[in-house]
């Protein structure tokens, strides 16, 4: 069995704990054993998963991998700590708030001989797989992707473009590398409203 720890118990972290404790039959998850979770808040136990300190998770010889589900801004530091401790890491997107930091983390994982995997679960859904089949072999002439969400805490989530990073990953996976041609931001603080509009161009313009 491969010992694991979940770091962060928001929506994603709780889903990780649930799935690790109840793996799908005959799935790779059956070889993973949840040995605890780490949180700044005090929970004691969640279901049968026990809360452990970050220090214990980093030190434990039984823990081989960490699932990081904290706020965006803390991903980079947490990944570094677990790689330095000799653990494999799975992190919810985005890995870091800059491309430079992300490249440094990939290099660090390679030097340590550890797996560093950025998870974007939406790319594994049946709906997305169907969408990918529908666009295969077609040329994108023009398109618009619009989505809404609640206003994010920028201190934790990073600058506003990161709230759309998942959709950007969709577009790159579907249509290849993209170049930003323009980007604007509109803010109405009195209405707690923010909007970012970005235009991209594919490699074949």
The residues near 162 (Cβ < 8 Å, ≥ 6 apart) are 72, 94, 97, 152
pLDDT tens digit string along 184-193? 989 888 988 8
Most confident region among 18-22, 79-83, 131-135, 201-205 by mean pLDDT: 79-83
In whole angstroms, what is the distance from residue 71 CA to residue 111 CA?
Answer: 26
Q: Is the pLDDT of residue 155 over 90?
A: no
Q: Which residues form the domain of 58?
A: 2-119
Q: Is the pLDDT of residue 120 over 80?
A: yes
126 shares its domain with 75:
no
What is the mean pLDDT of the segment spanning 53-63?
97
Q: Residue 116: what pLDDT?
A: 97
For the whole model, what pTM was predicted? 0.76
101 shares its domain with 12:
yes
Computed over every residue of the chain, the mean pLDDT equals 90
126 shares its domain with 180:
yes
Hey, what are 153's tokens?
A: 């805490």
Instruction: Count how many domains the chain has.
Output: 2
152 shares its domain with 80:
no
Q: Is the pLDDT of residue 150 over 70?
A: yes
Better-scored residue on pLDDT, 109 or 141: 109
What is the mean pLDDT of the segment spanning 160-189?
85
112 shares its domain with 136:
no
In whole angstroms, what is the distance from residue 132 CA to residue 48 CA?
Answer: 39
């Amino acid at each position: 069995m491969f010992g694991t720890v979940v770091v962060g118990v928001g929506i994603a972290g709780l889903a990780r704990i649930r799935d690790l404790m109840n793996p799908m039959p005959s799935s790779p998850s059956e070889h993973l054993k949840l040995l605890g979770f780490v949180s700044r808040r005090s929970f004691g136990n969640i279901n049968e998963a026990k809360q452990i300190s970050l220090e214990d998770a980093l030190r434990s010889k039984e823990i081989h991998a960490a699932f990081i589900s904290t706020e965006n801004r803390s991903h980079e530091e947490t990944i570094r700590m677990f790689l330095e401790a000799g653990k494999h890491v799975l992190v919810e997107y985005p890995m870091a708030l800059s491309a430079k930091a992300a490249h440094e983390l990939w290099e660090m994982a390679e030097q340590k001989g550890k797996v560093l995997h950025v998870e974007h679960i939406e790319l594994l859904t049946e709906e997305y797989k169907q969408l990918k089949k529908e666009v295969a072999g077609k040329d994108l002439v023009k398109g618009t992707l619009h989505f809404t969400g609640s206003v994010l805490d920028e201190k934790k989530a990073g600058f506003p473009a990161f709230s759309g990073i998942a959709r950007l990953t969709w577009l790159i996976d579907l249509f290849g590398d993209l170049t930003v041609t323009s980007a604007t931001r509109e803010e109405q603080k009195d209405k707690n409203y923010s909007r970012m509009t970005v235009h991209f161009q594919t490699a074949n313009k």
